[in-house]
Amino acid sequence: MEKKALARYLAVILLSGLSFTAVANTTHSKPAPILSDINAQGISNNTKGIHNNTKRIIYINKKIGEIDSEINQMTSNFSNDIEN
């Protein structure tokens, strides 16, 4: 008789623990994101991507300007060498 009582008591404890866990998971968990949150996150990621791409483009344009200056200097030096 004691074994049945202990088994029932253990079952009640286990089941109450499971139901408590289920309630805790449903009531205290973070709600599903709404569409505006998802869109805001996507816009934020896109903005960061555009910013990074803009920085790369600025860097590339700067390098192109430096190369143009070097080419102009080399052309000028070459022209001076031919004239002399």
pLDDT digits (tens, 9 = 90+) for 9-68: 667 666 665 555 555 555 556 666 677 777 888 888 888 888 989 999 999 999 999 999
Residue 23 CA to residue 11 CA, distance in Å, equals: 18
Q: Identify which of 1, 10, 31, 59 has the alpha carbon closest to the alpha carbon of residue 51.
A: 59
Mean pLDDT of the chain: 77
SS (H, E, C) 28-56: CCCCCCCHHHHHHHHHHHHHHHHHHHHHH
- In sequence order, what E strands does 3-81 have? none
pLDDT digits (tens, 9 = 90+) for 60-74: 999 999 999 999 999
Contacts of 41 (CB under 8 A, 6+ apart): 33
pTM across the whole model: 0.48
The CA angle 27-32-36, to the nearest 5 degrees, is: 140
